Each structure stands twice: as C-alpha cells, then as structure tokens.
C-alpha cells in the first residue's frame, strides 16, 4: 500500500512538473480550457491544469520585419513596374492574433500587395518615383487600421525598391543625360555671360579712371598756368613798382639837388634821345628845348657847383 501511495505521489509530481511553464520575456502564451479561450500568460511562472488546459499558441511580442516579394503594379499612366516593400509590425494582442485570422503573415502580405496596387494606381510614373514618403505614409495608415482586428500594430512601411521596365529605364537615362547637358550648357552660357560682364565692367572702370586722370591732369595744368600767370603778374607789378620807385627816387634826388628848370629840360632832351634810339625818322622837339646852348650852359654851371 505504501509503495502504491509513493508511486501515485511520484506520478502526481511528474504531472505537475510537466504542466509547469515559464513564459520568457517578450512572449505570451494563449491558453485554452476545454477548447475555449481561457487566458493569456505573460512573462513569468505558470501552471496549467493537466488534461484540461492547453497552450493554443505561443506569440512573440517583438517587432518583426517582413520583406515581401516584389509586386507588379500599374501606374495611372499605364506603366507596369515591380515594387518591393518592407513592413515593420508588432503583435499587441495575442488573443486577437490567435483567433482573428487564420494566417496573419500571409494575410498581411496579401493586404500589403493590394494596398500598394491601389495607391500606385492613383499616381503617375514620375510621382511614384518621387513620392516614396507619401506611399509609405498611406500604406502604414491603411495597414495599421486593417490589422487592428488581428492584434497587429503596423509601425512602419518602407518602399524598398522600385523597378521600372528596361525601356522606361533607358528613356529615363536619356532624359537625365539631356537634362545634365542642358544644365552644362546653361552653366557655360552663364559663365561666358559673367565673363563678358566682368570684361565690360573692367573697360568701363578703366575708361572712368582714364577720364578722371585726364580731368585731374587738366585741373592741375590749369592750376599751374594760373599760378604761373599770377607769378608773372606779380613779377610785372613788382617791376612796375621798381620802375616807379626808381623814377620817384630820381625825382627826389633832383629835388634834393635843387636843380632848376634848365636841368629838367636837359633830362627831357636825354629822354627824347632814348625815345629816338637812332631809328626815329621824325622827332617833334618842344619849343622850350630848341635853345640847346642855354641847356648846355646850365649843365656846365651845375657841374661846376
């Protein structure tokens, strides 16, 4: 009897130990009891009822990355291309994820392809190539709302690669080449224009400087001529003053010598001689100087004094 009891105890312990579960971090276990949903086990130690409870699904709560195969899509202007997308999602409700949809990953992939075709169908080729942010934002919003009943949270959607047909690629390369050549021509023309402008500006500045230099030279020349004229006039005035001073001194000396009228007449005669200078053909002599003997006598008397 004792052995039976010990055996039963060991069996019970083994059954209990076999039904002890430890839920790791970032995981959750969905538990069913008698085939119906019972609870969700989060991180920690749990024990299920033997033969009644069962783990229906183990769910990882980490963020997952799904790189779906490229999907053929048609743009608004009827260009068929292949687009590769990457979806970042996370399971937030293990119960909804376990019972909301049969295969969540496959459902998410199909929903992503359908949403992508709808969005690209509203855009033309050029818009598709330049509007990746718009496509990502629209897809994330639509997928996140659609996957809420599945307990999935779509965090980000990225358009990984856009592959247009070879003919479109060739046309785009030609267009890009033509655009680069056009920009090159514009840059060359702008450079030549700037060069011509700078040359013209240089010539203009040179002409202005030459005119300014000529103007300054004329001003300096006029100033010099003015100064020379002033100096000449001052010299002539000074000479006139000296002559007048000499005449005044001569008159003063004559007065001091108490010369009479006869001496004055002799001086007048000498002045007439200088005026004639041997070149005059006709000289008018005043009547009071015609008597030369009287003048000479007067001079002799003055000399004796």
Does 250 share its domain with 298?
no
* Domain finish residue from 115, 138, 164: 164
Q: Which of 152-161, 242-251, 265-274, 282-291 has the highest mean pLDDT?
A: 152-161
Does 160 share its domain with 90?
yes
Does 147 share its domain with 174?
no
Does 69 share its domain with 160?
yes
For residue 217, pLDDT beyond 50: yes
Question: Averaged over 233-261, what is the pLDDT?
Answer: 72
Does 292 share its domain with 214?
no
Does 97 share its domain with 43?
no
Q: What is the pLDDT of residue 155?
A: 92
Distance (Å, whole) CA 155 – CA 135: 14
45 SS3 class: strand
Q: Tell me if 91 sits within 8 A of 122, measured CB to CB.
A: no
* Domain finish residue from 130, 164, 198: 164
**Structure-block tokens of residue 30:** 């969905």
Half-sphere exposure at residue 188, Cβ-oriented, CA atoms within 13 angstroms: 6
Q: What is the pLDDT of residue 88?
A: 94
Cα torsion 201, 203, 209, 215: sign: negative
Question: Averaged over 78-100, what is the pLDDT?
Answer: 90
Looking up residue 156, the CATH number of its domain turns out to be 3.30.479.30
Does 221 share its domain with 182?
yes
* Domain finish residue from 45, 60, 75: 60
Residues 278-296 have pLDDT tens digits of: 555 555 555 554 554 454 4
Total count of residues recorded for the chain:
305
Does 13 share its domain with 53?
yes
Q: What is the pLDDT of residue 272?
A: 54
Does 151 share its domain with 102?
yes
Q: Tell me if 33 sits within 8 A of 53, measured CB to CB.
A: yes
Number of domains, the chain? 4
Question: Averaged over 238-249, what is the pLDDT?
Answer: 78
What does the mean pLDDT of the chain come to?
81
Question: Averaged over 2-28, what is the pLDDT?
Answer: 84
For residue 154, pLDDT beyond 90: yes
Does 219 share its domain with 248?
yes
Q: Which of 91-100, 124-133, 273-282 has the highest mean pLDDT?
A: 91-100
Residue 269 is part of which domain span?
A: 257-277+286-305
For residue 169, pLDDT beyond 80: no
Q: What is the pLDDT of residue 303?
A: 43
Cα torsion 252, 253, 258, 261: sign: negative
Does 137 share its domain with 157?
yes
For residue 270, pLDDT beyond 70: no
Residues 18-70 have pLDDT tens digits of: 888 899 998 999 999 988 999 999 999 998 888 888 999 999 999 999 888 88
Q: Which of 106-120, 161-175, 182-196, 266-280 bottoms out in mean pLDDT, i.e. has the lowest? A: 266-280
Does 160 share its domain with 172?
no
């Amino acid at each position: 009897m004792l052995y039976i009891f010990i055996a039963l105890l060991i069996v019970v312990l083994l059954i209990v130990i076999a039904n002890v579960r430890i839920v790791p971090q970032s995981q959750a276990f969905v538990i069913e009891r008698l085939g119906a949903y019972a609870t969700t086990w989060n991180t920690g130690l749990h024990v299920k009822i033997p033969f009644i409870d069962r783990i229906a699904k183990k769910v990882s709560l980490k963020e997952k990355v799904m790189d779906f195969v490229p999907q053929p899509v048609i743009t608004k202007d009827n260009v068929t291309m292949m687009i590769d997308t990457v979806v970042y999602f996370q399971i937030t409700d293990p119960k909804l994820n376990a019972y909301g949809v049969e295969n969540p990953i496959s459902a998410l992939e199909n929903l992503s392809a359908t949403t992508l075709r709808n969005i690209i169908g509203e855009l033309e080729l050029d818009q598709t190539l330049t509007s990746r942010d718009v496509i990502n934002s629209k897809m994330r919003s639509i997928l996140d709302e659609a996957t809420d009943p599945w307990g999935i949270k779509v965090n980000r959607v990225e358009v990984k690669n856009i592959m247009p047909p070879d003919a479109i690629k060739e046309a785009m390369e030609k267009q890009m080449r033509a655009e680069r050549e056009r920009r090159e021509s514009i840059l060359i023309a702008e450079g030549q224009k700037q060069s011509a402008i700078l040359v013209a500006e240089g010539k203009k500045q040179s002409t202005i400087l030459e005119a300014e230099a000529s103007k300054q030279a004329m001003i300096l020349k006029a100033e010099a001529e003015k100064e020379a004229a002033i100096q000449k006039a001052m010299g002539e005035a000074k000479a006139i003053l000296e002559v007048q001073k000499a005449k005044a001194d001569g008159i003063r000396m004559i007065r001091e010598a108490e010369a009479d009228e006869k001496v004055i007449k002799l001086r007048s005669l000498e002045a007439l001689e200088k005026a004639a200078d041997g070149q005059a053909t006709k000289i008018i002599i005043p009547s009071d100087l015609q008597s030369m003997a009287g003048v000479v006598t007067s001079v002799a008397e003055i000399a004796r004094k």
